[in-house]
Amino acid sequence: MKYLISFIQIFIFNILGALIAKYQCDCSLFVEESICLGIDTCNWINELCVNKDCFDMDENECDLIGKCSLNQEGNCESSSFCTNYQVKDQIDCMIKKGNCGAENQKNAAGFYQCKSYNSVDCNSLAAENCTNNYEDRETFCWLNSTKQCQSYNINSCEGLPLDVCDKLECKNSNSQCSAFLCSDITSQDQCTYVQDGTWGSLTLCQWKEDQTPKCIERTETKDFTNITCSKMTDGRYYWKNESCVSCPKNYEDNSSSSLSLILYLIYVLQYL
Range of the domain at 100: 53-117
Q: How many CA atoms lie within 13 A of 246 on its CB side?
A: 21
- As a whole number of angstroms, the distance between CA 184 and CA 136 comes to 32
How many CB atoms are closer than 10 A to CB 112? 22
For residue 43, give every residue at least 6 positions away whose Cβ sits within 8 Å of its Cβ, in sequence order, or none: 27, 36, 37, 49, 50, 51, 52, 53, 56
Residue 59 lies in a domain: yes
Total number of domains in the chain: 1
Residue 85 lies in a domain: yes
Cα angle 238, 241, 246 (rounded to 5 degrees) comes to: 30
End-to-end CA distance of the chain: 8
Residue 268 lies in a domain: no
Residue 75 lies in a domain: yes
Centroid of chain to Cα 266 = 32
Residue 74 lies in a domain: yes
How confident is the model at residue 140, as a pLDDT? 87
pLDDT tens, N- to C-terminus, the chain (272 residues): 444 443 443 333 334 467 888 788 899 999 899 999 988 889 999 999 998 888 888 877 776 666 777 776 778 887 667 887 888 888 878 766 666 778 878 888 898 888 887 788 999 999 988 887 888 878 889 999 999 999 999 899 999 999 999 988 999 999 999 999 999 999 999 999 999 998 889 999 999 998 899 999 999 999 999 989 998 998 999 999 999 999 987 544 443 334 433 334 344 444 44
Residue 150 lies in a domain: no
Residue 77 lies in a domain: yes
Q: Where are the beta strands (DSSP E) in 164-223?
A: 171-173, 176-178, 193-195, 202-208, 214-217
Residue 86 lies in a domain: yes
Alpha helices in 105-176 (DSSP H): 162-165
